[in-house]
Amino acid sequence: MVPFAWIILVSILLFALGAIALITRRNAVAALMGVELMLNAANLNFVAAWRYYYPDHLDAQVAVLLVITIAAAEAAVGLAIILNLYRRFGTVDLDQIRLMRG
Partner 1 sequence: MNIIFYLAAAVAIVATLLVVTRLNAVHALLYLIVSLLAVAVVFYTLGAPFVAALEVIIYAGAIMVLFVFVIMMLNLGPQATETERGWAEPELWFGPALLCGVLLGEVIYLILRMPTGTTLARVGTPEQVGVALYGPYLLGVELASLLLLAGLVGAYHLGRRAPHEEPGGGV
CB of 22 to partner 1, least distance (A): 10
CB of 99 to partner 1, least distance (A): 9
**Does 45 help bind partner 1 (rule: CB under 8 A)?**
no
CB of 96 to partner 1, least distance (A): 9
The whole-angstrom separation of Cα 14 and Cα 52 is 20
**Does 21 help bind partner 1 (rule: CB under 8 A)?**
yes
The whole-angstrom separation of Cα 23 and Cα 94 is 11
Question: Is residue 93 helix, strand or coil?
Answer: strand
**Does 38 help bind partner 1 (rule: CB under 8 A)?**
no
What is the full DSSP assignment across 81-102?
Answer: HHHHHHHHHS--BTTT---S--
CB of 15 to partner 1, least distance (A): 10
The whole-angstrom separation of Cα 40 and Cα 71 is 9
Site residues for partner 1, window 50-69 (CB under 8 A)? Answer: 50-53, 55-58, 61-62, 64-66, 68-69
